Amino acid sequence: MSQIKIRKQLLNVETVYHEGGPVAAKPLKLGVIAVVVDNPFAGRFASAEELASFVKEGRMLANDMVPELIAALGGKDKIEAYGKGAIVGTNGELEHGAMWHEAGGWAMRAVLTQAKSIVPAAKFVGAAGSRLHVPLHHIEAAYVRSHFNTIEISVADGPRPNELLFALGMSTGPRVHERLGGLRVDQISVGDGQR
What is the mean predicted confidence (pLDDT) over 9-38?
Answer: 96
Quick one: pLDDT band at residue 161, thresholds 50, 70, 90? very high
Quick one: pLDDT band at residue 59, thresholds 50, 70, 90? very high
Please choose, from the candidates 117, 93, 90, the residue with its C-alpha nearest in 3D space to the C-alpha of residue 183: 117
3 state DSSP class of 10: strand
Amino acid at position 165, single letter: L
Q: Measure the CA angle with vertex 172, ends 167 and 177; round to 5°.
A: 115
The answer to whether the CB of 94 falls within 8 A of the CB of 39 is: no
Q: Measure the CA angle with vertex 127, ends 43 and 41; round to 5°.
A: 20
Q: Which residue range(s) make up the domain with 36? A: 6-187
Q: Give residue-wise pLDDT tens across range 96-107.
A: 999 999 999 999
- The pTM for the full model equals 0.95
Asked whether residue 23 is assigned to any structural domain, the reply reads yes
Q: Give the CATH number of the domain where residue 182 resides.
A: 3.30.1330.110
What is the mean predicted confidence (pLDDT) over 75-88?
Answer: 98
Asked whether residue 1 is assigned to any structural domain, the reply reads no
Asked whether residue 194 is assigned to any structural domain, the reply reads no
Quick one: pLDDT band at residue 1, thresholds 50, 70, 90? low
In angstroms, the first-to-last Cα distance of the chain is 43
pLDDT surpasses 90 at 139: yes
